[in-house]
């Protein structure tokens, strides 16, 4: 059973309440002056309806049917074309895009919540507009005015779709090895030749045109990543009036048979003297592509959160109705042949774990989204810079932490179902298969961890860490100062984990100066530690708010009481993972690196 009701109350909580006092407050800036909280709530409600009514019904059937390649054209599963039409007409594709290009200009804080709903209900579907959004981000930042005028309006509206063509069969993480060639033409355009693989939404029947952003190498380019340029290569060359013109030299040479995400076409693309235009400066393609990639990385984290949420809800629904055994403390439903399995502590452990992961990621994701908005619209240059630092720090964390937890949650959901979870017809093993790719694409989670430890911690003398460290330490101090007894244990737990994180940060930095492998061997555990502290920060903030609300008894007391329990569970049962990470990192890289290559 794929069960989903958009968690609107929790979304409103993270959107309006949790960060009301946060430094990243661009939501109040001129850019969003015309919007009101009520409008945001209405948008979320509409998105919920669209996700539940249009996307969810196509999730399992899309998985079963998959995409097909017929005569060089990719067909999406039944219903996807109509769903995409509704999605586009509802303005969902353009939600956070600049009004200059026809976007609605809503803040990322709202947009990311909508993305979460899309990904909960149909991850495969979500990739099509998601990739387009990423492509417009890069084009907007780096494209020439002509290119932008020609492509942005149609891509922002979703009339045309976008892709990012990076990977080749011999190079994924290491783009310096790529071989696709770009030859300059007299008219200022380029001819692109080469093969790409793993191109999400590389071709499909949802739009009239597909606009590829392609990494390629000029003939005289330096070796490695410093010789990569970015090109815009449309499937159909537009006519002067903007209509779709002749076919360009781009072909789908195959689609992949994947573990999951089957309704999203993953294409092998052949570029054969395809006409394209450069985006940004020659040999600066990688940084242009990273504009897109960073946007995508946060979105992939949100994809994880989306799957996590539906996995949680689907497990709860089953745990309430499946009758099996009796509560350890005596029958709870003597009227029934057995109790629903939700009475069993180990089942509750599973449900609470998924719940805590979802709520924790939603809060951390919202925190990062506020920084995304502030980076762009913050009032002062200092604030914008601080937000940029924070985004840089949190991007790998959001990507890797959320997706690791999503896979864990999806697996827990299957476990809640027992044998029934392993059977396709119940629809929950799909969550495991779909979520699995989010840990890999847009940079594997190992690469995210290296980005965090090797780049983000080290850059600018650790400046990226400051907004995060300050926020956590301020909260701990405030809470200690308030002397709130109910939350004293949780405050202490966060302080301890935070202390361990600070110590670990210093240790890793010191060791890495002598031996780069120390950073690499610590990276994955470090990212998890930092992520847990970030979640702990949001749970302690949430618990503080909830404590006040419960005392006020404001009519929504059940929501806040539940939040307090969820926070307790996090500190009791999940945060201890940080200690394991701390101890593992402390042991150093020695035993990780010791085995000779041929002894494996």
Of the candidates 108, 116, 140, 442, the residue annotated as catalytic is: 442
Query: Per rule CB under 8 A, is residue 160 in the interface with its own copies?
Result: no
Contacts made by residues 453-458, CB under 8 angstroms, sequence distance 24+:
453/508, 453/512, 453/519, 453/520, 453/522, 453/523, 453/526, 453/527, 454/512, 454/516, 454/519, 454/520, 454/523, 456/392, 456/393, 456/396, 457/505, 457/508, 457/509, 458/509, 458/512
Q: Which residues in 311-350 contact its own copies (CB under 8 A)?
A: 316, 319-320, 323-325, 328-329, 337-338, 340, 342-350
Residue linked to tokens 């996590």: 308
Q: How many residues in total does the chain contain?
A: 600
Q: Which is nearer to its own copies, 171 or 509 (CB)?
A: 171
Query: Per rule CB under 8 A, is residue 572 in the interface with its own copies?
Result: yes
Query: What pairing do the DSSP bridges indicate for beta strands 244-247 and 236-238?
Result: antiparallel
Q: Which is nearer to its own copies, 199 or 391 (CB)?
A: 199
Interface pick for its own copies out of 165, 450, 471, 475 (rule CB under 8 A):
450
Pick the piece of the chain touching its own copies (CB under 8 A) from 166-174, 207-215, 282-290, 533-541: 166-174
Phi, psi of 282 (to 5 degrees): -60, 145
Pick the piece of the chain touching its own copies (CB under 8 A) from 187-195, 226-234, 476-484, 585-593: 585-593
d(CA 469, CA 472): 5
Q: Which is nearer to its own copies, 237 or 327 (CB)?
A: 327
Q: Across-strand partners of 193?
A: 181
Mask for 34-53, x = binds its own copies (CB under 8 A): --------------------
Alpha helix positions (H), 143-235: 145-156
Q: Which is nearer to its own copies, 117 or 437 (CB)?
A: 437
Tokens matching residue 237: 């060359």
Q: b/e map of 464-475 (b: 16 or more CB within 10 Å)?
A: bbebbbebbeeb
Mask for 204-243, x = binds its own copies (CB under 8 A): ----------------------------------------
For residue 294, CA distances in Å to 115, 255, 394, 438, 564 come to 16, 26, 10, 14, 33
Query: Per rule CB under 8 A, is residue 290 in the interface with its own copies?
Result: no
Query: Per rule CB under 8 A, is residue 8 in the interface with its own copies?
Result: no
Torsion of Cα atoms, 391 then 392 then 397 then 402, to 10°: 50
Interface pick for its own copies out of 257, 483, 485, 555 (rule CB under 8 A):
257
Query: Which residue, among 534, 524, 493, 475, has the nearest Cα to 357 in the 3D structure?
Result: 534
Mask for 415-444, x = binds its own copies (CB under 8 A): x--xxxxxxxx---x--xx--xx-xxx--x
Query: Per rule CB under 8 A, is residue 21 in the interface with its own copies?
Result: no
Query: Per rule CB under 8 A, is residue 513 in the interface with its own copies?
Result: no
Pick the piece of the chain touching its own copies (CB under 8 A) from 6-14, 234-242, 358-366, 568-576: 568-576
Cβ atoms of residues 369 and 22 within 8 Å: no
Query: Which residue, among 13, 152, 159, 130, has the nearest Cα to 562 in the 3D structure?
Result: 13
Please write down the HEC assignment for all residues of 23-53: CCCHHHCHHHCCCCHHHHHHHHHHHHHHHHH
Query: Which residue, among 13, 4, 93, 3, has the nearest Cα to 365 in the 3D structure?
Result: 13
Q: Which is nearer to its own copies, 357 or 571 (CB)?
A: 571
Pick the piece of the chain touching its own copies (CB under 8 A) from 26-34, 283-291, 387-395, 555-563: 555-563
Query: Per rule CB under 8 A, is residue 172 in the interface with its own copies?
Result: yes
For the question of residue 17 being annotated catalytic, the response is no
Q: CB 327: neighbour CB atoms within 10 A?
A: 16
Q: Which residues in 460-499 contact its own copies (CB under 8 A)?
A: none
Q: Which residues in 177-196 contact its own copies (CB under 8 A)?
A: 177
Q: Which is nearer to its own copies, 30 or 595 (CB)?
A: 595
Q: How many residues sit in the footprint of its own copies (CB under 8 A)?
A: 103
Q: Which is nearer to its own copies, 314 or 375 (CB)?
A: 314
Query: Per rule CB under 8 A, is residue 410 in the interface with its own copies?
Result: no
Q: Which residues in 344-403 contact its own copies (CB under 8 A)?
A: 344-352, 355
| Closest separation in Å from C-beta 387 to its own copies | 29
Query: Per rule CB under 8 A, is residue 544 in the interface with its own copies?
Result: no
Alpha helix positions (H), 268-284: none
Interface pick for its own copies out of 171, 458, 459, 480 (rule CB under 8 A):
171
| Closest separation in Å from C-beta 568 to its own copies | 4
Q: Which residues in 73-112 contact its own copies (CB under 8 A)?
A: none
Query: Per rule CB under 8 A, is residue 457 in the interface with its own copies?
Result: no
Query: Which residue, among 462, 322, 307, 487, has the nearest Cα to 392 in the 3D structure?
Result: 462
Residues annotated as catalytic (active site), given as ranges: 442
């Amino acid at each position: 059973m794929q069960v989903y009701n958009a968690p609107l109350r929790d979304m409103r909580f993270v959107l309006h309440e949790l960060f009301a006092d946060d430094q990243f407050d661009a939501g109040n800036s001129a850019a969003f002056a015309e919007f009101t909280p009520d409008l945001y709530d209405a948008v979320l409600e509409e998105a919920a309806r669209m996700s539940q009514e249009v996307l969810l019904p196509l999730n399992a059937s899309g998985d079963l049917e998959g995409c097909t390649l017929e005569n060089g054209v990719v067909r999406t599963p039944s219903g996807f074309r109509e769903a995409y039409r509704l999605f586009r007409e509802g303005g969902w594709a353009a939600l956070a895009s600049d009004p200059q290009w026809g976007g609605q200009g809503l803040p990322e804080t709202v947009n990311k919540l909508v993305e979460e709903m899309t990904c909960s209900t149909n991850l495969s579907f979500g990739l099509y507009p998601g990739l387009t959004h990423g492509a417009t981000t890069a084009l907007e930042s780096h494209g020439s005015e002509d290119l932008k005028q020609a492509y942005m309006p149609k891509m922002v509206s979703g009339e045309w779709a976008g892709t990012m063509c990076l990977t080749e069969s011999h190079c994924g993480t290491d783009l310096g090895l790529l071989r696709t060639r770009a030859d300059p033409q007299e008219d200022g355009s380029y001819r692109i030749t080469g093969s790409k693989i793993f191109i999400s939404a590389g071709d499909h029947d949802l739009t009239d045109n597909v606009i590829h952003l392609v990494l390629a190498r000029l003939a005289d380019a330096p070796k490695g990543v410093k010789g990569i340029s970015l090109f815009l290569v449309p499937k159909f060359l537009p006519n002067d009036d903007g209509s779709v013109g002749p076919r360009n030299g781009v072909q789908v040479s195959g689609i992949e048979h994947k573990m999951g995400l089957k309704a999203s076409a993953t294409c092998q693309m052949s570029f054969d003297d395809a006409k394209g235009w450069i985006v940004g400066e020659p040999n600066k393609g990688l940084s242009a592509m990273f504009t897109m990639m960073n946007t995508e990385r946060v979105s992939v984290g949100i994809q994880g959160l989306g799957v996590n949420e539906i996995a949680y809800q689907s497990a709860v629904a089953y745990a309430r109705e499946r009758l099996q055994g009796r509560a350890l403390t005596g029958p709870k439903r003597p009227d029934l042949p057995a109790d629903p399995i939700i009475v069993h502590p180990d089942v509750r452990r599973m449900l609470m774990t998924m719940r805590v992961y979802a709520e924790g990621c939603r809060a951390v994701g919202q925190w990062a989204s506020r920084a995304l908005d502030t980076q762009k619209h913050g009032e002062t240059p200092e604030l914008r810079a601080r937000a940029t630092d924070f985004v840089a720090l949190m991007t790998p964390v959001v990507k890797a932490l959320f997706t690791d937890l999503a896979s864990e949650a999806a697996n827990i959901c299957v476990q809640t179902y027992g044998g029934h979870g392993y059977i396709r017809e119940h629809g929950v093993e799909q969550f495991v298969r779909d979520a699995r790719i989010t840990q890999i694409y847009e940079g594997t989670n190992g690469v995210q961890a290296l980005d965090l430890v090797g780049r983000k911690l080290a850059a600018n003398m650790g400046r990226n860490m400051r907004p995060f460290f300050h926020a956590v330490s301020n909260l701990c101090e405030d809470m200690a100062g308030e002397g709130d007894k109910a939350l004293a244990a949780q405050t202490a737990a966060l302080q301890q984990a935070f202390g361990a994180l600070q110590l670990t940060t210093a240790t890793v930095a010191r060791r890495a100066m002598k031996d780069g492998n120390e950073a690499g061997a610590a990276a994955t555990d470090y990212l998890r530690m930092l992520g847990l502290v970030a979640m702990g920060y949001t749970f302690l903030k949430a618990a503080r708010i909830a404590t006040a609300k419960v005392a006020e008894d404001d009519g929504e007391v059940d929501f806040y009481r539940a939040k307090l329990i969820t926070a307790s569970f996090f500190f009791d049962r999940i945060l201890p993972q940080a200690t394991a990470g701390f101890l593992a990192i402390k042991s150093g890289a020695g035993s990780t690196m010791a085995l000779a290559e041929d002894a494996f």
